[in-house]
Structure 1
Amino acid sequence: MQLDYKGYMLGMSIEEINRLHRFRSTGKFVNSKEEFQKITKISTELLNEISPYFKFPDWITSNKVSTKEAVSFQEKKVKIIPKELNQATKEDFMEVFGIGDKISDIILKEKEKLGQFATIEQLQFIWGISPEVYEECKRRFYVQSNANLKKIFINTASVKELSKFPYFNYAFSKEIVTYRSMNGTFSSIDDLAKINNCPLEKLKIIALYLEF
């Protein structure tokens, strides 16, 4: 489970996170939300709030599987057939250990806002996806083509149109229009990088969605 990586984002205190790390350092794993609360000593209210993000393997939650079978299940190598990211369903995402109901919905909503994903790298910027989960996603998904990307005409789009793009907030969209009025049209992605508060870490991805 990924709460030892994301706990601070979900309201856990430093001491609660440290308790979890101390437990994990012994080589053991948390196998239920009840055990998670016992180890971290978080409140029942917080547990109910963050437990939807927990995901345990089926063999842990099933009483029908013996310990021997569980070990065999863990060690069994499953052949993974990568799927096209933009064709992936909620169920496909939930097959990734660390992605549950909530995060799979977030991924699909992000795709809806964008029209489609341009690269697998976009998953690393989605809330709730840890570096470990992102690496697993790279094994399971790929992007076949960018031919049908919904492009933004950066030199003519209004503030309202620009702010609909997930990587541009309203303030940055206003900066883009202001820059255009003062400096003329954008000729390349390098011009966009000159604007204050430009999300430079996403610039390579943003460039795929722009038309100059």
Structure 2
Amino acid sequence: MNFFKSHFKYNKYQKSGIFVLIGIIVSLQLIVYFVNFSPNKISSNLSAKELKAFTLQMDSLQKVKLNSKKIYPFNPNYISDFKGYQLGLSIKEIDKLLAFRKQGKFVNSTKEFQNITGVSDSLLKTISPYFKFPNWVIKKRNSSKLKIVNSKNIEIKDINTATVSDFKKVNGIGEKLSERIVKYRNKLQGFTFNKQLYEVWYLDKEVADKVLRRFQVKKLPIISKIDVNNSTAGELAKNVYINYNLAKKIISYRDEVAEIQSIEELKKIDGFPLDKFNLIALYLDAN
């Protein structure tokens, strides 16, 4: 018992020192608890102007760093973490690129690289001259530019006045296909929308695209409409977009409501093809 007492007996000065030490420890704990030392708090005090200046300064330093090293042309799709660090990309920018590549997608232009990674204009200007894309990408890009230039020089004619001979001038269209386009146009009483060309039987999308580069709807056709309140199922079924089963449903609905006040009412019919409503409505009227 005397042994423990000897270790806990302090004089006046020693007791004061212990209280001071305890006070310092408590104060430090309170400071750590209440004061936020995170970098976000510190950076929030910077103005937008100061932050921009700091970014430009960092880009300049990265440019100096790059100029001091020999850089060889490379495909930006295969930038590793280390390569990205050497080029001056941030971890966040590198991660964005890697995440994009994990989806099986490829960067095919300098602009697309910036959109995906979010690199600054100054850094992009420094590293983009070293980008080396595959030859097929370059050829495709040049081909697209050539198509745009050529399309500007072609005079677009009205598809509703074009003849069989006119359609035959399009690469990929022969006599029979030209006649089929004209026949379908007559059945529609004229094309109202360019997209109706894709409905022509046995006309490939690529060939239809070529046609629309030279022929488009310039003047809307005058369509003779059918009175939905005074027509038979057979007459309605003559519409390109209405089969006989749908025609009977329309007649049945008309009998239920006595008279169809508006074509919009057809949307209430069970099984009505809403995606074709605008096309069907071109040929119907409710007098």
TM class, shorter-length: 0.5 to 0.7
Question: Which residue in the other structure is 1:136 paired with?
Answer: 210
Q: Deviations over 1:111-142 (max 9, x none)?
A: 22222222222112222223323332322222
Task: Select 1:169's aligned residue among 243, 249, 256.
Answer: 243
1:208 aligns with 2:282: yes
Whole-Å separation in 2 of the counterparts to 1:89 and 1:150 = 22
User: Taking structure 1 as reference, are residues 115 and 179 closer, same or farther at Cα in structure 2, changes over 3 Å only?
Assistant: same
> Does the 8 Å contact 1:83/1:141 carry over to 2?
yes
| TM-fit CA distance, 1:162 | 0.9
1:82 aligns with 2:156: yes
Whole-Å separation in 2 of the counterparts to 1:185 and 1:132 = 44
Whole-Å separation in 1 of the counterparts to 2:274 and 2:259 = 20
Whole-Å separation in 2 of the counterparts to 1:131 and 1:195 = 32
Per the alignment, in what secondary structure is the counterpart of residue 173 of structure 2? coil
Structure richer in helix, relative to its length: 2
Per the alignment, in what secondary structure is the counterpart of residue 206 of structure 2? helix
Whole-Å separation in 2 of the counterparts to 1:133 and 1:105 = 15
> Does the 8 Å contact 1:114/1:150 carry over to 2?
no
Whole-Å separation in 2 of the counterparts to 1:99 and 1:187 = 44
1:123 aligns with 2:234: no
User: Taking structure 1 as reference, are residues 134 and 199 closer, same or farther at Cα in structure 2, changes over 3 Å only?
Assistant: farther
Question: Which residue in the other structure is 1:100 paired with?
Answer: 174
User: Taking structure 1 as reference, are residues 89 and 158 closer, same or farther at Cα in structure 2, changes over 3 Å only?
Assistant: same
| TM-fit CA distance, 1:206 | 2.2
Question: Which residue in the other structure is 2:225 paired with?
Answer: 151
Whole-Å separation in 2 of the counterparts to 1:202 and 1:96 = 29
Per the alignment, in what secondary structure is the counterpart of residue 193 of structure 1? helix
Between the two proteins, the alignment pairs up a number of residues equal to 139
1:91 aligns with 2:147: no
> Does the 8 Å contact 2:190/2:221 carry over to 1?
no
- Root-mean-square deviation (CA, aligned residues, Å) is 2.7
> Does the 8 Å contact 2:263/2:285 carry over to 1?
no
Whole-Å separation in 2 of the counterparts to 1:196 and 1:95 = 45
Q: Which has the higher contact order (CA 8 A, sep 6+)?
A: 1
Q: Deviations over 1:138-165 (max 9, x none)?
A: 2222223336222122222221211111
Of 199-208 and 164-173, more deviation after overlay is shown by 199-208
TM-score normalised by L of structure 1: 0.55
> Does the 8 Å contact 1:153/1:211 carry over to 2?
yes
User: Taking structure 1 as reference, are residues 94 and 184 closer, same or farther at Cα in structure 2, changes over 3 Å only?
Assistant: farther
| TM-fit CA distance, 1:187 | 4.0
| TM-fit CA distance, 1:106 | 2.0
Q: Which blocks of at least 5 consecutive residues in structure 2 are unaligned? A: 1-146
**Identity over aligned residues, as a percent?**
38
Question: Which residue in the other structure is 1:39 paired with?
Answer: none
